[in-house]
Amino acid sequence: MDINTIRKETRGCENKIFLNSAGSSLVPDPVFDRVISYLTEEAEVGGYALAHSTLEETEEFYSEAARLLNCNPENIAYMTSATDAYAKAISSIEFKEGDVILTTDDDYVSNQLTFISLKKRIGIKIIRAVNLPGGDLDLVAFEQQVKTYQPKLVALTHIPTSSGLVQDAEKVGEICHKYKIWYLLDACQSVGQLVVDVKKIKCDFLTATGRKFLRGPRGTGFLYVSDAALGAGLAPLLIDMLGAKWTSKEDYKIEPTAKRFEFWESSIAGKLGLKEAMKYVNTIGMAVVEQYNASLMVAFRTKLTAIKGLHLQDRGTHVSNILTFTMDHHTTEEISEHLKQYGVYFSVSSKASALIDFTRKSIDSAIRLSPHYFNTPEELEKVVAILNF
Ligand SMILES: Cc1ncc(COP(=O)(O)O)c(C=O)c1O
């Protein structure tokens, strides 16, 4: 991995230490350039004419996403965000009163709100998996829960928004496959950070966003839909003229590919920007990025642990590029002010987005640092020194 070129092509990484890729990362120049050039041309000829003449390039969006996830372009739908993808995926499952969604304590806040909404409206049951003392899922208990409750859906967040935990998505996939349960994976924080292979994970749906570790533009994302889900006719509850053809007064024919989950209107500039972002990381190679990230984080975590009174809040045997911590002698606000003074970009995770996890940890908030492959070990050493205050 040529870190010097990568940094040269990341205009935002100068004069600051940018550690917020779990929030909204810095786009590489090819992404920036394509979005700007597209919008410039759109201002000249109008949205429809340009969309028509760039159809072939737009299709590359699907092949780059397919390359990233190890699937076919037909399994990919373009979305405006991970939440958009999630809502459409979940709406394709016909829940009835008493149906069970099996999920975890660490699943994303908006996903939990969706489950609660389905519970209030339809009367589904939410069952949450058991964690081992170290924070990992208890997979033996998980399989037992699958057998006992026969859930209609298993919903797992691969990497939670406010802790470094990486859930064992493959093992969960094996269990879902064995018992033929629909499996929805929220890979919003893992795509672009780790190798995510849907053939190995065996999920039916996977949701991702553009702006985080993929380094794409805001307002973009995608949904993966398995052949099994497409073959079973799963389609979003609310469709439009891209997802289906109006065939008679009372009927329609659904689009055969995952595009049935898309809406007709979308940002083509955003789509081409995200295509460039995926092409960028596909060219570097996800395995290379994952390896670089892992070594960056091992050293960072080790050095931070040595600071007296600093507590890493990440649990689990496999942790990621999301690092959360608190300090005994400084509040989150004090640490935030201190980091800002030194030009460190980061975010704060609050209990409102990690209700179960932070209640269990007895914390109200934590500082979240999320380095990525354009960051250097030297930058992280500086941050360690800054935090030693
Ligand atoms: C784990 C996880 N899932 C889903 C989302 C939602 O993504 P989006 O804002 O693109 O809908 C986030 C955003 O932080 C997230 O961290």
pTM of the model: 0.98
Provide the residue-wise pLDDT of the chain in tens; the chain has 389 residues. Answer: 899 999 999 999 999 999 999 999 999 999 999 999 999 999 999 999 999 999 999 999 999 999 999 999 999 999 999 999 999 999 999 999 999 999 999 999 999 999 999 999 999 999 999 999 999 999 999 999 999 999 999 999 999 999 999 999 999 999 999 999 999 999 999 999 999 999 999 999 999 999 999 999 999 999 999 999 999 999 999 999 999 999 999 999 999 999 999 999 999 999 999 999 999 999 999 999 999 999 999 999 999 999 999 999 999 999 999 999 999 999 999 999 999 999 999 999 999 999 999 999 999 999 999 999 999 999 999 999 999 99
Asked if residue 159 lies in contact with residue 290, where contact means CB atoms within 8 angstroms, the answer is: no
Residue 329 phi/psi, 5-degree rounding, is: -100, 5
Residue 21 phi/psi, 5-degree rounding, is: -75, -20
pLDDT at residue 64 in the model: 98
Distance of alpha carbon 107 from alpha carbon 93, whole angstroms: 19
Q: What is the helix, strand, coil percentage profile of the chain, to 5? A: 45, 20, 35
- State the DSSP string of 30-61: HHHHHHHHHHHHHHHH-HHHHHHHTHHHHHHH
Distance of alpha carbon 188 from alpha carbon 362, whole angstroms: 26
Is the distance from the beta carbon of residue 167 to the nearest atom of ligand 1 less than 6 Å?
A: no
Taking Cα atoms as reference points, which of 127, 84, 130 lies closest to residue 262? Answer: 84
Is the distance from the beta carbon of residue 106 to the nearest atom of ligand 1 less than 6 Å?
A: no
Nearest CA to ligand 1 atom 14: 161
Taking Cα atoms as reference points, which of 381, 376, 377, 344 lies closest to residue 4? Answer: 376
Give the Cα-Cα-Cα angle 18, 19, 24 (nearest 5 degrees). Answer: 90
Residue written as tokens 């003229």?
Answer: 241
Q: In which order are the strands placed within the sheet that holds 100-103?
A: 76-79, 221-225, 205-209, 182-186, 153-157, 100-103, 125-128
Residue of 109, 110, 184, 223 to mutate, ligand 1, most atoms within 8 A of C-beta: 110
Residue written as tokens 């995608």?
Answer: 222
Determine whether 246 is exposed, middle or buried from the number of CB atoms within 10 Å of its CB (0-12, 13-18, 19+): exposed
Residue 232 per-residue DSSP state:
T
Is the distance from the beta carbon of residue 81 to the nearest atom of ligand 1 less than 6 Å?
A: yes
pLDDT at residue 167 in the model: 98
Residue of 108, 347, 370 to mutate, ligand 1, most atoms within 8 A of C-beta: 108
- Which of left, alpha, beta for 259 (phi over 0: left; psi -120 to 50: alpha)? alpha
Is the distance from the beta carbon of residue 83 to the nearest atom of ligand 1 less than 6 Å?
A: yes
